[in-house]
Chains A and B, each alone.
Chain A
Amino acid sequence: MYGFFIIVGIIFIIRLIQLQIVENKYVLAAENNTRRDVMIYPPRGLVYDRNGKLIVYNEAVFDLMIIPGQVDNNKMVNFCSTIGIDTLEYKKKYKKTRRYSRRKASVFKKQLSKTETAYLQEKLFQYPGFYVQARTLRKYPHHSAAHLLGYIGEVNRKEIKKDSFYTSGDYIGKSGIEKSYEKKLRGQKGIEKLMVDVFNRTKGAFHNGIYDVEAVNGTDLYTGLDIVLQEYGEELMLNKIGAVVAIEPATGEIISMISSPYYNPNMMVGSIRSDNYTILVNDTFKPLLNRAMTSAYPPGSTFKLIQALIGQQEGVLTPRTVYTCNNGFYSGGLHVGCHPHTPKIALQESVKISCNAYYCNVYKSIIHNPKYKAYDEAYLKWKSYVNSMGFGIKYGIDLPYERSGNIPKPEYYDKYYGKGHWNAITTISLSIGQGEILATPLQLANEAAWIANRGYYRTPHIVSYLGDKAHENQEFHEQHFVGIDRKYFDVVIDGMEEVTQSGTATLARIDSIPVCGKTGTVQNPHGENHSVFIAFAPKDNPKIAIAVFVENSGYGGTWAAPIAGLMIEKYLKGKISKNKKWIEKRMLNGDLIHK
């Protein structure tokens, strides 16, 4: 008999040694059993406009979370009726989350309503492995600036892999400043370590909370946007395809950036996002595309200003230089047409009336400058001016998906014509902003900005201050000089002023504020020409520089210029003067899409 007792005793003690001393997986299992780490999601940073108006804020929502390893599937039927889904859906979701992780929490049901949340909080203790997690949704009270603000969405596997900050179900900025300032906006997650019992009921803080990690709020962003102007611009651009970019010349702050067609940013929030995304992505007018930065067009006649400045700087052009235009520019068999005007004109007049022949001659004199040994050397010099003026390059603006446009390299023409076999005449369309040149509306607005500054620009950007007004966004402080002496600007700017006074863009004129502008009409082989206008105002001490690009709308003076004029007036005066109401009405009602 003693033998039995001793054998059993020894077996038990060996088993105890195995469980308690040899294996330590049970210690971990015990921790996992009782400790639940609750992520404390910090509120995402808020976004303000230049006048301190709140343009992005957070609204609390609740997600139903699941820890698959703790779920008791015997309670499935009851659970399904509690949260109102069928068992098939339950099984699908359970399997999916379980595949992700048995021990880590995943989202089981997104964005519960407040009443749902209150109801569930009371019932949930019966269902181990489920709990409610508070999160925040983004809200956009002004329904505009969707392309700039961007949107947030659930992280995908790739993003989780790239940055261990994220776990399944977290939100991340997917576009706009939500994306480019993600690391500032997201803050730091906190962890509250709780003790829970088998029913997942909280039993207090783990070790009195000494291991808790406090959450750090996301950084607020103060932008240079004027949300009122942005909304006004969107109204003006309704039913038109194109873009408007307005920049404060002195700082490079983007006051408005409109890409039309646009969408309400609140469409991309919460559970409706995926449906709306599908609608928007399939829209043939591509409303998700930010045309202001990602579409590049030939700049058209707005590029003549550049020729005028480079010509002067290179010493091949003075304000008194006169060229004759007889309905255009002739060279050998080549003819660049022009509209009828007085044949003999000087520099300032050429800006005002936008004479093609004049700029063909200017460009020719730049490229065929005897100072340079070869045409391509002169061209390279010209290109370096154009690049330093912000064309054909990326600025590193604080928005994703910026495009550089195109200023062809000499090699491009070498390949096309053979080295030494091309000159100003073969590339003459560059003189009037046609041909291979491509520029984004942002680059055109920047052109207006550095002309307004008489020779330099600061990198255009959205966010001016981080956290509070005391912390300037240092990244965009540098001045970029375009390589043109200040003295050469006067004649060009005088010409630009005449453009709105009596030239090609009188619809952009504002009483009491001198507006300097330049129209452009981009030849479009596929349909109606694109209408372009760049401008800044006031002439002295400019406050706003703007570029308007309206696709398939004809002359720059008909659509782009009046819209720019209205934007400038709205921004500088706060309202539109009575005598311009008719223009405003025509622009607001203009429909260039549904023809």
Chain B
Amino acid sequence: MRKSGFSFGNLDWILIGIYLLLVLFGWINIYAAVYNQDHSSIIDMSQRYGKQLLWIAASFILILLIFIIDPKFFNQFSYLIYGFHILTLIAVLLFGKEVAGSKSWFQFGSIAIQPAEFVKYSTALALAHFLSGIKELKLKQIVISGVIMFLPAALIVLQNDTGSALVYVSFILVLYRMGLPGGVFGVGFVMVILAILALVFNTLQEQIILTGVIFSLLAGLYYFMRKGFSAIMRLLAVFIISSGFIFSVGAGFNKLQPHQQDRIEVLLGLKDDPYGAGYNVHQSKIAIGSGEFTGKGFLKGTQTKFDFVPEQSTDFIFCTVGEEWGFIGAAGVVLLFVALLSRLIFVAERQRSSFAKYYGYGVASVLFFHFTINVGMVLGLLPTIGIPLPFFSYGGSSLWAFTILLFIFIRQDAERMNLL
């Protein structure tokens, strides 16, 4: 094994370039979203764009640190890092500060840190480490992977931050790469459809009719298959499971908190309430829609600037892009993310170290999930789940966590020539 030498030439400058573009454009939009004429200096620390500039500078220091650390450290100590972050999650439950109903922040002087953000990279590390050490994915391995993925998710749910917890579902994509059967996704897809149907037809009467419809569909299917008794049994099992699922979704839905019920109902069009639960999304659509093709221009967005769109510098930052930069800017950001994700998969696939490869998939999965959920929410396609748009949204914790997540991978990739 050769001495691990670090060289800038080995860095994947495409990933770094996209990263820098996203961070810069993100900052410009944060500046626009909270801009006010009394504080137009970009380094005004009383304003969010001033602080974000500080977070960005700190991110560059973090990047340098990651480049200095021996890349093997992250592989070898992945469980330790994972364990440490799990402890921070427990600690925040005990000692954390409650903000807007979620107990997920540590307050250090004037700086607040959200440990849940950093657990993502450690989970990706631990999962990659575990998967790189096994030969095949059997039930036992799936269960262990599941524990690695959902232990932090469970702790985050306890913090009352369901949105952030959902992110861990994205690691299933890593398992998919490992060879988790595609049927799992098919079943998942059917279940989502059934869940939506169960919510749309939410009275008992309608649900009985719905199961009747499923029964006749399955009966029709059997008529075309004609494969004998075992097929009947299988289809009957499918029917019983799906009917049970429909009724339990209805029952489960009633257990959700009212504001979550509202959001789902608004999304499914069961409730039209542009000034209640649908307010955020309604205003966000107005902001984006009013940007039209070329946008209103930098600092000219009226919707985001006058606080019509809530959380416009954090979760709804994409609104500002849509309003001020129009279709060109918004589609540009979408394409940048697609390029980033595709490049991540491309780079992951060229790794000779399976740890680096699985870690790369983990990175891509987390970013993909954040991107899809966040932009989907802002565009009114998905329910309102408060998670940030990576590299874009205002916030030190999330920027640092995504930077660490990405650059550990870039660092691993830079070593690919040196391995073996």
Contacts and interface: CB of A to CB of B under 8 A. Distances in A.
Interface in A6-21: 6, 8-9, 11-13, 15-17, 19-21
Contact of A2 (B306, B345, B372, B381): B345
A30 B361 CA distance: 40
B372 A29 contact: no
B293 A12 contact: no
Contact of A16 (B275, B302, B334, B371): B334
Contact of B288 (A6, A19, A71): A19
B38 to A, nearest CB: 13
A67 to B, nearest CB: 12
Contact of A198 (B289, B306, B331, B345): B306
A537 B330 CA distance: 88
Given A12-B334, A33-B302, A20 B293 contact: yes
Contact of B289 (A25, A69, A71): A25
Contact of B338 (A6, A16, A29, A198): A6
Given A2-B342, A198-B308, A203-B306, A26 B331 contact: no
Given A20-B288, A20-B292, A30-B286, A8 B372 contact: yes
Contacts of A55: none
Contact of A20 (B302, B306, B330): B330
Residue from B173, B285, B293 whose CB has the most chain A CB atoms within 10 Å:
B285
A4 interface: yes
A89 to B, nearest CB: 21
Contact of B379 (A12, A21, A23, A203): A12
A199 B306 CA distance: 9
A98 B34 CA distance: 33
A528 B397 CA distance: 98
B288 A26 contact: yes
A16 B327 contact: yes
A195 interface: yes
Contacts of B30: none
Given A20-B293, A199-B307, A26 B286 contact: yes
A30 B287 contact: yes
B334 A9 contact: yes
B306 A197 contact: yes
B303 A1 contact: no
A72 B371 contact: no
B326 interface: yes
B127 to A, nearest CB: 16
A21 B292 CA distance: 5
A5 interface: yes
Contact of B285 (A19, A21, A34, A69): A19
The winner among A15, A20, A27, A73 for most chain B CB atoms within 10 A is A20
Interface in A320-370: none
A54 interface: no
A132 interface: no
A2 to B, nearest CB: 6
B345 A20 contact: no
A196 interface: yes
B368 interface: yes
Contact of B376 (A12, A74, A198): A12
B39 interface: no
Interface in B163-177: 173, 177
B32 interface: no
Interface string B371-385: 110011001110000
A198 B327 CA distance: 24
Given A8-B371, A19-B289, A33 B308 contact: yes
Given A2-B342, A20-B291, A27-B289, A195 B306 contact: yes
Contacts of B292: 20-21, 24, 27
Contacts of A69: 275
Nearest to A32: B286
Interface of B: 173, 177, 275-276, 283, 285-293, 302-303, 305-308, 322, 326-327, 330-331, 334-335, 337-338, 341-342, 345, 361, 364, 368, 371-372, 375-376, 379-381
Interface of A: 1-2, 4-6, 8-9, 11-13, 15-17, 19-21, 23-27, 29-31, 33-34, 69-74, 195-199, 203
